[in-house]
Structure 1
Amino acid sequence: MWTDHTIGCPKRDDNHPMTGRSGTVADIRPQQADEGDARVGRRRIHEVVLEQIEEQIASGQLKVGDRLPAERDLATSLGVSRPAVREAIRVLEAMGTVVQGTGSGPDAGTLLSAVPGDALTHLISLHVMLASIDTADVVRARVALERESTRLAAGHAGPADHETMAGHLAAMDDPAISVAEFNDRDTAFHLAIARASGNVLVAELTTALRVAMRPTLLHALQALQDFPATAARLAAEHHGIHAAILAGDGDLAADRVEAHIDGFYDGLRPPGAAAPGT
């Protein structure tokens, strides 16, 4: 069933078997299909579909939870092929802005969503692996974001947030912890701080950068000659960060997380190599 916010479709006929109820949807003017044809000559066809969807989102006619029209109807209304519509939907899925439901219930069809975290993580991870983003740039971006998320967490973290952080700290304090588990707990501790910041965008970006760097950090930890000593030092630094957050001292927490990140990467650089960002 179409919603009141479907796009690229004519007004609903109350008696039409496909609509089933009254209401209106965003109209595509008769000339829009011709306009789409003209634009196809200049760009890839699926970009026409993406542009139409983006326009509907920007105007407020499409919102999170709304269902897009069926592939056939969207293709007809825009004057493009069904494969072009299919490609546009795949792009939107990769961007984390739609999810594909199955079956015939209320969750069936293509629904607008707002879960960009995985998409951001995959995008940044790919560029890091392809070396199109220098590691030094990632480190400086991490410092900037984690300073802010840690400072905010000092004022926003609640009991559940502190319990989560404390659980990860306790696990990292175990002298018998494996390298892989330590790396996972380290990542989870930093992500718990980001999620406690109260700023969704800062949390998502912090998460994307930290998860993107996870393989690099794991490799670095595995290459250490004395992992237990490094793990103990990093765990102590984590406790210091958490203590500052618990005390509500955002500036101190931010300073400590910056020193923590810089200190770890400093230990990975060959002697005489420049620090990130210098």
Structure 2
Amino acid sequence: MAAEWHPVRQSRTHELVLESIEQRVLSGDLKAGDRLPPERELAPVLGVSRSALREALRVLETIGVLSAQAGRGPDSGARMVRNPDDALGRLLRLHFALGSYTLEDMLEARVVLERSSFEAAARNASKEQLAELGDLVAAMERPGTGVERFNDLDTRFHVLVARASGNQLTSTLTSAVRESVRPLILRALETAEDWPAAAAALAAEHAELLRLVRAGEGEAAAALAERHIRGFHGGLVADTPPGD
């Protein structure tokens, strides 16, 4: 396999290494599960230093397409993987924090994604997924559930509905968007004047969303999901001064 690799230009070396690996993925020469040659073999074949190669591999780890394990065992070395959820969520959170996207952008993205998710989940959710959603709602309804715990349950509920839609890309994007606004939602929940009442109202909305999904009423579930998101997330937009 090492003989198939070719030297790259020396300017911006690690980016050129990334381009070389990307080209092999796009051409189908590298697939998920494939192992890269050891650094000591790959670096000279590419005509780069091992430090430049390591920098490129770190970037690939960050974006969730490479897993690197130190050592000499069967799992050691760098292997191509499919792990987009955490990586995409991390990148989106950073861009959101840096102002690349506004709260309005995130609101509209959530509405589009989650309307699709709830409508599809009403058709495709498995018994196991419906049972897990029921457990999450029951935990939300439990008296004394704290703000941070409730926010975690809320996030897991929406991400699981997206997964139950049967569309992996929708699931990944929904998870990334919801995780990006998690800190803002948490702060908003923490400022609720009457948290027990707010928690009960939000739990009731989630219970009704689940009832509609279970009943196969996709359009009604999608409409309620939009009202649910605009009602709470929309409040975050209204309460955020321009430029924040």
Match of 2:177 in 1: 209
- Of residues 73, 82, 86 in structure 2, which corresponds to 1:105? 73
Cα distance in 1 for residues equivalent to 2:234 and 2:113: 19
| RMSD of equivalent CA atoms | 1.7
Match of 2:110 in 1: 142
Higher relative contact order (CA 8 A, sep 6+): 2
Match of 1:124 in 2: 92
Q: How many residues align?
A: 241
Q: CA deviation digits over 1:6-51, x for unaligned, max 9?
A: 4xx21xxxxxxxxxxxxxxxx23xxx43xx23xx33xx11111111
Query: Percent identity, aligned pairs only?
Result: 46
Structure 1 residue runs without a partner (length 5+): 1-5, 11-26
Match of 2:24 in 1: 56
Question: Does 1:78 pair with 2:46?
Answer: yes
Q: Which amino acid aligns with 1:61?
A: D
Match of 1:224 in 2: 192
Classify the secondary structure of the residue corresponding to 1:230. helix
- Of residues 241, 244, 248 in structure 1, which corresponds to 2:212? 244
Structure 1 residue runs of 4+, over 3 Å off?
266-271
- Of residues 218, 229, 239 in structure 2, which corresponds to 1:261? 229
Give the deviation of 1:239 after TM superposition: 1.2
Deviates more, 1:230-239 or 1:162-171: 230-239
Q: Which amino acid aligns with 1:163?
A: A
- Structure 1 residues 51, 267: CA separation in 2 closer, same or farther (over 3 Å shift)? closer
Give the deviation of 1:59 after TM superposition: 1.2
Structure 2 residue runs without a partner (length 5+): none
Cα distance in 2 for residues equivalent to 1:270 and 1:75: 53
Structure index of larger Rg:
1
Classify the secondary structure of the residue corresponding to 1:110. strand
Question: Does 1:166 pair with 2:134?
Answer: yes
TM value normalised by structure 2? 0.93
Match of 2:83 in 1: 115
Classify the secondary structure of the residue corresponding to 1:111. strand
Give the deviation of 1:132 after TM superposition: 2.2
Match of 1:175 in 2: 143
